[in-house]
């Protein structure tokens, strides 16, 4: 039996900075828009709601307490009203949705996770993944996740998996998804990735290498990682990066002591790219985009960087087959007698309670939704 084909949509959008309600409405608008263009899978960037914490890369921690407070207040519960509304939009449009969020938990007033959820076309949460390890300055905002979400979503459009930003550098996390038959791999990214303060002047005798040239090249690095995974897994790739529009940069800048300087700095970094990759790692050509600012279709679009748009491509999963004849690294091209991988998919909880008058089978824990759950597992959705 032939494998399915699907139309995928990557939403290259800017959040309403630190506003979960407004960004949720924008998310639903994009789902509706993508569905009208016959999309089956709609993908959103890393931490799309309520924002990616760029300020932690550009300001010292002593100047970001108010940002963190707002980030906590505007982060969302997986069982909260914002995600419920998005699940309803997926159900109404009969589409699969992959969404990056900053996740809040009920057992703490300040613990957050960098989370990606995959919602099925029936509105049910199929995968709830928390980023295994926050990268670099992200550690000032998010806690480390666990292996619970290292799963692929079984959909009628194929087996869909997702990893968040730097996790696409982790070969074991990637292999865990490959070993479940992943056919579409989603990698999510921020709009920019500042690693140095950019300056306009070139190198001099005291600094022979221009600082500008030494900032982390997130466009090249992201493509390298996503393409490598597609080639190794023989799967399609969806690179979904965020965007920063003028309003978003102004909102971030307004919360700093030097707004004009911050605005210029935010605008100076190279933008992340959203695009589709085939099972050889090449960019998928022949797609189209919906320019959300002008509300018009753009033909022949293969990549989006500097505008707010939804990028579309048609993916035929039968193209995933031929490469497996050469290198099926989870099958005929693997040595299971030499290598083995064990993945702990237990959801980490802060405490497990055992009452003295109960046996071990009746133990409970405080789940991620703040409810008491049997057997130490949180409730999904």
Q: Is 349 a catalytic residue?
A: no
131, 182, 232, 234: the active-site residue: 131
Supply φ then ψ for residue 61, to 5 degrees.
Answer: -55, -30
Give how far Cα 89 sits from Cα of 25, 26, 42, 96, 162, Å: 10, 12, 11, 10, 20
356 CB-contact burial (10 Å; exposed 0-12 / middle 13-18 / buried 19+): exposed
Q: Is the dihedral of CA 197, 199, 202, 206 positive or negative?
A: negative
Q: Is 324 a catalytic residue?
A: no
46, 74, 82, 167: the active-site residue: 46
Q: With beta carbons less than 8 A apart as the criterion, state whether 271 and 192 touch.
A: yes
Supply φ then ψ for residue 350, to 5 degrees.
Answer: -70, -20
Q: Is 257 a catalytic residue?
A: no
30, 165, 230, 235: the active-site residue: 165
Q: With beta carbons less than 8 A apart as the criterion, state whether 49 and 97 touch.
A: no
Question: Which active-site residues does the annotation give?
Answer: 46, 131, 165
């Amino acid at each position: 039996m032939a494998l399915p084909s699907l139309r995928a949509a990557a939403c290259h959008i800017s959040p309403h900075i630190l506003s979960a309600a407004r960004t949720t409405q924008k998310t639903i608008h994009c789902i509706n828009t993508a569905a009208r263009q016959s999309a089956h899978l709609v993908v959103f960037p890393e931490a799309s709601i309520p924002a990616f914490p760029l300020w932690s890369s550009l300001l010292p921690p002593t100047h970001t307490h108010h940002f963190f407070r707002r980030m906590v207040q505007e982060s969302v519960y997986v069982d909260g009203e914002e995600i419920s509304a998005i699940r309803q939009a997926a159900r109404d449009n009969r589409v699969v949705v992959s969404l990056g969020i900053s996740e809040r938990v009920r057992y703490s007033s300040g613990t957050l996770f960098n989370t990606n959820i995959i919602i099925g076309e029936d509105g049910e949460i199929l995968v709830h993944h928390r980023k295994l390890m926050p990268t670099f300055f992200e550690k000032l905002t998010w806690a480390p996740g666990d292996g619970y979400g290292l799963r692929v979503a079984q959909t009628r459009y194929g087996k869909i998996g997702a990893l968040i930003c730097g996790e696409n550098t982790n070969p074991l996390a990637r292999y865990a998804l490959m070993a479940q038959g992943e056919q579409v791999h989603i990698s999510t990214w921020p709009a920019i990735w500042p690693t140095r303060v950019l300056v306009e002047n070139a190198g001099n005798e005291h600094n022979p290498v221009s600082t500008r040239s030494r900032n982390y090249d997130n466009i090249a690095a992201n493509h390298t990682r996503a393409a490598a995974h597609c080639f190794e897994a023989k799967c399609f790739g969806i690179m979904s990066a965020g965007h920063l529009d003028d309003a978003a940069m102004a909102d971030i800048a307004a919360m700093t002591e030097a707004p004009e300087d911050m605005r210029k700095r935010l605008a100076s970094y190279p933008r992340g790219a959203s695009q589709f990759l085939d099972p050889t790692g090449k960019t998928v050509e022949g797609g189209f985009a919906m320019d959300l600012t002008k509300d018009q279709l753009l033909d022949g679009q293969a990549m989006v960087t500097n505008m707010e748009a939804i990028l579309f491509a048609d993916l035929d999963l039968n193209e995933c087959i031929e490469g497996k004849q050469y290198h099926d690294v989870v099958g005929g091209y693997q040595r299971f007698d030499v290598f083995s991988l064990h993945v702990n998919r237990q959801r980490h909880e802060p405490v497990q309670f055992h009452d003295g008058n109960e046996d071990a089978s009746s133990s409970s824990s405080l789940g991620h939704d703040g409810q008491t759950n049997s057997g130490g597992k949180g409730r999904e959705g």
